[in-house]
Structure 1
């Protein structure tokens, strides 16, 4: 089975994450994720992998033992099973030869991937591109990663002359709703020394820094009263919430920031005059900046408490995940160096980008497994216009193989 056949075969299984079941604590949140995990388990067995374990949560792990007698660290690769909930229809993937201009995804529904809207597609002229019929996501986020990893394992097993140390792989559920699979993953028992996720990004892109991320839940408690006799009695929690929001730093919101600029995201506000709950996301690339933002929110809540009186405001601050860069500083940055060499050997210019979001590698790194992110080659994730150049998918798999080769060359003792 070639890499394209693998990928398209995986897209035929609907693994849309379920936010409702996820909120209820169910994992995997959709049966399709377990169905895909069962298929992958069978394929791993056919490849001769060892220590294959599929858990009830759909977390699937396996090991390719070393084929040389050298003291080597264990390298690992991760992908997630689920696709985003933006679209829930079954995927109808197809391969088109792209010769420039627009791509008609669905003539009957007049759905067109227009070059004017997605100009980066022009760089793939003359290549085959995998697209959908415009009624669903493609699911390259993250089935392109699964295909790239599985194909790399096939290359290694078919070519025993390629020397490698121990290689571990893991496929995780429900990344698309709070990195739930990674949070449940047992890094210690997995036994890898370092790893890479494959998730997001066009060919050449590489992620080794992302947000330090936190949550804030602010509860405003007012005093209800009938408006006919409210004077001096009514304390409107909705207005308290709006005053609190108005005191946040102007311009430090997602819609005003990019690059490495952090923000406060007013994400959800619900309630009435008696009680209102505000939910916020806090993001910053630096540990110092993140700490300052969390301190600011606590001090703002304390000041409001002084102004409004005891019991009218309560704030709960919590950490969600750390910047993966925190785990890749100094000598611990060797996974970045190995990836750079692997990109170079494949004639790919590495474009390191700060990810303005979270990914499984952030949680895994925080648990002690340094884990930057390699491209899958796909574009327009979470959109019906998602597409995957075939050459980029193959390149992602080639990089995985070369990471394994270079690990032997540079880290053997």
Structure 2
């Protein structure tokens, strides 16, 4: 099976994640994710993989045994089964040969992808591009990754002269809901030394840096009173929350920041005069910056409590995930070096980008499995204008093959 047919076949299975089921603790949150995992398990068996395990959570793992007679590190690759919930319709993928200009996705509904809105299209003129029909997501996030990994295994099976050590693959559910599959993943029993996710980004992009991420939940406890006799008695928790928010550093919010600039994100505020709950996200690329932000919030809460009275401000700070870069420092940076060489062998210029978000590799790295991210080649994730140039998809798979090859070569040296 060629890689394009493989990808389109995967898109025919609707794996839209379900926020409702996820909130109820159900994993996978949608039945299509298990259906796709079952299909992949059969394909892995046909490709000669061993130790194939499909759990009732839809976490699927498998191992390709080494074909060399010397010890090597075990490399692994991850992709997620679910697609985002912005659109829930079935995917009707189509391949167009792009000659420039706009692309009509759906003439009946007059849905057009305009080059003026997506100028990066110009770089793919003369290439085949997989697009939607304008009524759904394409699902390249993350089925392009699944196709790239599976095709790489197919290449290795068809070319036994390619030397490789043990290779492990894993497909996990519900990444689109707070990285739930990665959080449930058992890194210790998996037995890999390092890994790569394939998730996001145009050809050549590479992620080995993302947020240190935390959450803050702050309860403001007031005192309700009837307005006719409120003087000296009413303590309005809503106003307390607003004053707290006003004391956050100006300009350090998502809408004012870019690149490696961190922020405080006021995400949710709910309550009444008696009690108000504020929920915030805290993000910073550096360990020191993240620690300073969390310490600032704690100090601000303590100061406000001293001002408004004991028990008036209750703050709970928690860590969500760490920056992948924390796991790739010093001698542990070799997964980056291997990827650089694999990109170079495929004449791809590596463009390292800081990811202003989380991905499965952040959780896996924090669990002890260093895991940067390789491109899939797709663009416009979570949008009906999502598209995937087929040469980029092929290049992602070729990089996977060369990462595996280079890992064995390094061990031989």
Which TM-score bucket, shorter chain as reference?
Answer: over 0.9
How far apart are 1:173 and its partner, in Å?
A: 0.4
Q: Partner of 1:104 in structure 2?
A: 104
Structure 2 partner of 1:62: 62
Distance 1:322 1:70 in 2: 34
Q: How far is the alpha carbon of 1:412 from its aligned partner?
A: 3.1
2:339 and 2:383 map into 1 onto residues whose CA distance is 28
Q: CA deviation at 1:232?
A: 1.2
For 1:123 and 1:199, locate their aligned partners in 2 and report how far apart those are by CA, in whole Å. 21
Matched, 1:293 2:288: no
Counterpart of 1:247?
247
Number of the residue aligned with 1:409: 409
Q: Which residue of 2 aligns with 1:48?
A: 48
CA distance in 1, matches of 2:239, 2:12: 50
**Deviation at 1:273?**
1.1
What does residue 217 of structure 1 align with? 217
User: Which aligned pairs between 1:306-321 and structure 2 lie closer than 5 A?
Assistant: 306-321=306-321
Residue equivalent to 1:127: 127
Structure 2: tracts of 5 or more residues without a match? none
Alpha-carbon distance between aligned partners in 2 of 1:104 and 1:218, rounded to the nearest angstrom? 48
What CA distance in whole angstroms lies between the structure 2 residues aligned with 1:98 and 1:376? 19
| 1:279-301 Cα deviation digits (max 9, x unpaired) | 00000000000000000000000
Q: Report the CA distance between 1:227 and its aligned residue.
A: 1.5
- 1:267 lines up with 2:260 in the alignment: no
Alignment-derived partner of residue 394 in structure 2: 394
Alignment correspondent of 1:176:
176
Distance in 2 of aligned mates of 1:373 and 1:17: 22
Gaps of at least 5 residues in structure 1 are none
Cα distance in structure 1, aligned partners of 2:292 and 2:104:
49
Match of residue 7 from structure 1: 7
Deviations along 1:46-79, one digit per CA (max 9) or x if unpaired, are 1110000000100000000001111100000000
Q: CA deviation at 1:109?
A: 1.3
Counterpart Cα distance in 2 of 1:78 and 1:268: 32
Secondary structure of 1:130's partner? strand
Aligned-pair distance for 1:411? Answer: 2.4
SS of the counterpart of 2:349? coil
For 1:256-405, what aligned pairs fall within 5 Å after superposition?
256-405=256-405
Give the ranges of 4+ consecutive aligned residues of structure 1 lying more than 2 Å apart after TM superposition. none
Deviation of 1:18 (Å): 0.7
Distance 2:117 2:334 in 1: 38
Rounded to whole Å, the distance in 2 between the matches of 1:220 and 1:89 is 41
- Output the CA distance in 2 between the equivalents of 1:36 and 1:231: 63
**CA-based RMSD:** 0.7
- In structure 2, how many angstroms separate the alpha carbons of the residues matched to 1:229 and 1:212? 48
Q: d(CA) in 2 for partners of 1:412 and 1:228? A: 84
Cα deviations by residue, 1:75-106 (Å, 9 ceiling, x for unpaired) = 00000000011111111100000000000111
**Distance of 1:24 and 1:269 partners within structure 2:** 22
Give the whole-Å Cα distance in 2 for the aligned partners of 1:236 and 1:411: 66
Return the offset for 1:5: 0.6
Distance 1:411 1:104 in 2: 50
Q: Which residue pairs with 1:33 in the alignment?
A: 33
Q: Which residue of 1 aligns with 2:145?
A: 145
